């Protein structure tokens, strides 16, 4: 029997420099995709997968994230007075029971591994999810549920994994394995951001993980790795040999909202899946292409 997954950690303390200037004064995780911010998708998936405790690792200038989980009294009252009950109900539906959302401050953005370590006292006993909200995964079954189901089979650590073109491996942690096929791949090594010719495979780690609590002791001792950051990938690599570590080729589509282009693509992809917007967006795209839409002057 594997332990149930009670906590999910959402590291949201990064500066999001690849999406500047949009992220100068709002957190990257508050960027909207269609009609809701990235954090909304990530937390909803975890809650629907049965996770009780939501831990946000925040930093300075991230107040908008905390407000998103709070009652907005003036807004609520205004919607009520104007009879906008549907909007009011939708906003209220997202609110979690008081005490379910915990905030931990990462005082300096020293890397994803460091952010996860900062959550060590907030996470309940047992395995926990880590989800980077800018890696949006959409499909029939959420990545949270898929990771939890995989973990029930394998125990240990499970990382979301995806095949990428070899030329792009340098953007990811890459999996070294003896058996690269199938949905659940046993991992014998992980290399952070390798050169294409040095990559052990083209199976890349996406920032959705299910980790055992042992990872905290490893992170406690860990030094900075690639890019001068304390890398979560290095800590997961250190788990190999102590506990099973698997890559899960998740089903669904991953939309990388950590870059401006990726975020734009995510909005288009999600709008095209949206019953209300699909036809209008398709029409707009077609029309824009035909008219060779004029470029806005540079700002
Ligand atoms: P990224 O690797 O995308 O880093 O972090 P970033 O700082 O947000 O963005 P760039 O690279 O400057 O464009 C992945 C996730 O981990 C969080 C980020 O907020 C994001 O959700 N993170 C990253 C932290 O919480 N702390 C860190 O020190 C680094």
What is the mean pLDDT of the segment spanning 5-9?
A: 96
Q: Please measure the distance between the N-terminal and C-terminal CA atoms of the chain and give it in whole angstroms.
A: 58
Convert the pLDDT of each residue in 161-177 to its tens digit: 999 999 999 999 999 99
Half-sphere exposure of 47 toward its Cβ, with a 13 Å CA cutoff? 15
Q: Which residues contact 128 (CB under 8 A, 6 or more apart)?
A: 5, 6, 7, 8, 9, 210, 211, 213
Residue whose C-alpha is closest to residue 28's, from 64, 4, 74, 71:
64
How confident is the model at residue 297, as a pLDDT? 64
pTM value surpassing 0.85: yes
Mean pLDDT over residues 52-67, rounded? 94
Supply the mean pLDDT for the chain.
Answer: 93
Distance (angstroms) between ligand 1 centre and the Cα of 76 equals 32
Query: What atom in ligand 1 is closest to the CA of residue 134?
Result: 21
List the structure tokens of 143: 């990545």
pLDDT at 291 over 90: no
pLDDT digits (tens, 9 = 90+) for 95-136: 999 999 999 999 999 999 999 999 999 998 899 999 999 999
Q: Is the CB of 262 under 6 A from ligand 1?
A: no
Distance (Å, whole) CA 109 – CA 14? 6
- Residue pair 160/236 in contact (Cβ under 8 Å)? The answer is no
CA of residue 17 to ligand 1 center, whole Å: 9
* pLDDT (tens digit per residue) in 67-86: 999 999 999 999 999 999 99
- What does the pLDDT read at residue 1? 45
| Distance separating alpha carbons of residues 205 and 130, to the nearest angstrom | 13
In angstroms, the CA 16 to CA 263 distance is 12
Question: In order of start, what are the domains of the chain with their CATH numbers?
Answer: 7-294 (3.90.550.10)
* Cα→Cα distances 78→64, 93, 94, 139, Å: 20, 17, 18, 35
Q: What is the pLDDT of residue 225?
A: 78
């Amino acid at each position: 029997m594997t332990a149930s997954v009670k906590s999910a950690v959402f590291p949201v303390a990064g500066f999001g420099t690849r999406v500047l200037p949009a992220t100068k004064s709002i957190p990257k995780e508050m960027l909207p995709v269609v009609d809701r911010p990235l954090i909304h998708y990530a937390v909803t998936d975890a809650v629907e997968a049965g996770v009780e405790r939501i831990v946000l690792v925040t930093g300075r200038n991230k107040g908008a994230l905390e407000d998103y989980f709070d009652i907005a009294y003036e807004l609520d009252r205004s919607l009520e007075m104007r009879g906008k009950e549907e909007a009011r109900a939708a906003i209220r539906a997202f609110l979690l029971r008081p005490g379910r959302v915990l905030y931990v401050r990462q005082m300096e953005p020293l890397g994803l591994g460091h952010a996860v370590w900062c959550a060590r006292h907030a996470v309940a006993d047992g395995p926990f999810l880590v989800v980077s909200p800018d890696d949006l995964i959409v499909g029939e079954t959420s990545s949270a549920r898929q990771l939890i189901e995989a973990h029930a089979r394998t125990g240990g650590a499970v990382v979301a994994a995806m095949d990428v073109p070899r030329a792009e491996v340098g953007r990811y942690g890459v999996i070294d394995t003896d058996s690269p096929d199938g949905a659940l791949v046993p991992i014998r090594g992980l290399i952070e951001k390798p050169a294409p010719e040095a990559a052990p495979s083209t199976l890349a780690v996406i920032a959705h993980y299910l980790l055992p609590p042992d990872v905290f002791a490893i992170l406690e001792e860990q030094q900075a790795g690639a890019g001068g950051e304390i890398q979560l990938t290095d800590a997961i690599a250190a788990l190999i040999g102590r506990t099973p570590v698997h890559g899960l080729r998740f089903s669904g589509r991953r939309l990388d909202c950590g870059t401006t282009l990726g975020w734009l693509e995510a909005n288009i992809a999600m709008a095209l899946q949206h019953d209300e917007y699909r036809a209008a967006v398709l029409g707009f795209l077609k029309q824009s292409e035909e008219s060779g839409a004029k470029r806005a002057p540079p700002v």
